[in-house]
Amino acid sequence: MKRVFLALLLVLSASSSLLYLSQPDRSSTVPVLYWVTQNDPVKRETIFLFKQWLKDNGLPPVEVKIDNTNQDPTKKLAQGLAGVGADLFDIYATQTELFASSGMLLDVTEQARELGFSQKATYPALHDDILVDGRQYGFPRNVAAAVCWLNTETFARHGIPEPNYRWTWDEFEKIGKIFVTAANPPGTRERSYFIQGVSLVTLRQGLGLSTFNETMTKCILDDSRNVEVMRRYYQWVVELHLIPTLAEQSEMAANVSMSGEDLFYLFAKGRYAMIYMPRYALIRLRVQGDLPLRAVEVFNSGFPNTEFVCGIVSVYTGSKHQVEAVRFLQFLTSEPFNLLIARSGDSLPPVPKYVHTEEFLRPPDHPNEWAAQEVFSRMASEIGIAMAHSPFVISGVVQRIDLQISQSVIAGQLTPEEAGRAEALQLNGEIARSIRDNEKLRKRYEDLLKVQEQIDARRAQGLPVPVAWITNPFHRTYYKAMGWLEDDTR
């Protein structure tokens, strides 16, 4: 079945591949890099700055063309496996393992060390996102960490107290109830909500719970802490109406004339008191005018945290211009590029030191954002945690099942108690299937099971655990915070 699916993908991508190969500038005397990415002002300025950076550093000229038509992961995979992929790919943390295992991504480990764009050049929390089995397959072009954005005018209009920078579940619920009562008096036709959504992963981590165990060999959501998360989530959505259902979100968006800007328009108009989004929300918020903005951490239940993810640029193994493509990854560590990300609002710069620059903290044309920017510079070092990617189940499958289970709870089809058991059953079934016919993966799984037994034995005795035994990035961070590590070398 997998072979049939791949064959269909190859056929579907054939026409775009032929068009790609027949373009006249493929015969240019200057190397031409094709970059599969979104065609937007930030990417176009990136290309301009890259060419200037090459010139300033005495390097040969390179042309870069944006391919905006083949961003779908299946298209990238189909073209790459057919031998006609673009030179540079945008991929995301949830896709790194899949693309690297396909053989499409160039292993740049040695070049990265030599040219200064190894994992040491970016945030420690992101190392697991750009490395697969200890080898590097790209470099971040931006970094996302979600916050709760506040429109302070909306709070003031209803006389609602604004939350503190760091706040709890109970405070979220208390302020949210006050807001929805004040913003939705009897007879209200268009309902307003406290926030549009929140990450269940972040909520679970606030209680010290991850989707997977320390070695990511098992889903552990059949846990009483997950019951509490799902109970609260159901209460906030169904009983208190602090968060809209997916259907309610769609209905609100359908009544907005600004296609693609509905969430930000509704936030600007006060229909949402807050939105839960990374810093790249600024790109859309600036379109709405000079909104009075604040940002605060996502509400926690004891352990402050936020998911730290990145967009990655990788090099195609079949590129005829690998040297030039690798130079592009090196450019992503440069000052011109990082300051562009800082100015544009396109999340965090990939090199940590640039979150402390004036361009990032106090963009001169946007003083209304200054109160929000410092939150991101603090979060980057204080509470950001990389996503847990189990090598035994595709991250996209994890996200799909998690959404399916949570929506079943909201619909009343599963109780909070049943939700964790159902999700653990499905994900552990996916793990079993992935190792059943893959001898190499099964051997790795069995080796990690032995490590997990050692971890469990040590924890049962109240003994610290060597950090090298833990592959789940959340557990590494949580164990360190709790003082449960035998050594602290990372």
Each residue's pLDDT tens digit, 265-293? 999 999 999 999 999 999 999 999 999 99
Q: Are 97 and 32 in contact (CB under 8 A)?
A: no
Per DSSP, 276 falls in state E
Q: What is the dihedral of CA 13, 41, 338, 318, to 10 degrees?
A: 20
Residue 171 burial by CB count (10 A; 0-12/13-18/19+): exposed, middle or buried? middle
Write down the pLDDT at residue 350: 95
Write down the pLDDT at residue 488: 56
Write down the pLDDT at residue 43: 96
pLDDT surpasses 80 at 73:
no
What average pLDDT does the structure give for the chain? 90
CB atoms within 10 A of CB 347: 24
Q: Tell me the mean pLDDT in the region 465-475.
A: 95
Write down the pLDDT at residue 19: 46
pLDDT tier, 23 (very low <50, low <70, confident <90, very high otherwise):
low
Write down the pLDDT at residue 11: 47
List pLDDT tens digits, range 301-311.
Answer: 999 999 888 99
Residue 203 C-alpha from the chain's centroid: 16
Q: Which of 70-74, 347-351, 456-460 comes out lowest in average pLDDT? A: 70-74
Please, which residues have CB within 8 angstroms of residue 175's CB and are 6 or more apart in sequence?
Answer: 160, 161, 163, 194
Name the pairing type of β-strands 139-145 and 293-296: unpaired
Q: List the one residue out of 312, 317, 313 whose CA is nearest residue 84.
A: 317
List pLDDT tens digits, range 234-255.
Answer: 999 999 999 999 999 988 887 6
Q: Are 90 and 313 in contact (CB under 8 A)?
A: yes
Write down the pLDDT at residue 260: 56
* Tokens read off for 285: 């918020």
Write down the pLDDT at residue 15: 47
Distance separating alpha carbons of residues 174 and 464, to the nearest angstrom: 38
Write down the pLDDT at residue 21: 47
* Tokens read off for 434: 């992935």
Residue found by looking up tokens 């009983």 in the block: 239
Distance separating alpha carbons of residues 117 and 313, to the nearest angstrom: 12
List pLDDT tens digits, range 361-406.
Answer: 999 999 999 989 989 988 877 898 988 889 899 888 999 999 999 9
* Tokens read off for 30: 């200057």
Q: Tell me the mean pLDDT in the region 59-84.
A: 84
Distance separating alpha carbons of residues 490 and 484, to the nearest angstrom: 14
CB atoms within 10 A of CB 450: 9
Write down the pLDDT at residue 129: 85
Write down the pLDDT at residue 95: 81
Q: Which helix (H) or strand (E) holds 306?
A: strand 306-315
* Tokens read off for 167: 């706040």
Q: Are 162 and 152 in contact (CB under 8 A)?
A: yes
- DSSP-derived secondary structure for 209-246: --SB-TTSSSB---SHHHHHHHHHHHIIIIIS-SS--H
pLDDT surpasses 60 at 178:
yes
Of residues 71 and 314, more confidently modeled? 314
Q: Tell me the mean pLDDT in the region 29-57.
A: 95
Q: List the one residue out of 176, 150, 142, 160 whose CA is nearest residue 371.
A: 150
Class of domain 2-143+308-366 (CATH, top level)? alpha beta
List pLDDT tens digits, range 149-164.
Answer: 999 999 999 999 999 9
Coil, strand or helix at 64: strand
Q: Are 348 and 376 in contact (CB under 8 A)?
A: yes
Q: Are 277 and 100 in contact (CB under 8 A)?
A: no
pLDDT tier, 22 (very low <50, low <70, confident <90, very high otherwise):
very low
Q: Tell me the mean pLDDT in the region 13-38.
A: 66
pLDDT surpasses 70 at 131:
yes
Share of the chain above pLDDT 90, in %: 76
List pLDDT tens digits, range 413-441.
Answer: 999 999 999 999 999 999 999 999 899 99
Q: Tell me the mean pLDDT in the region 90-98.
A: 81
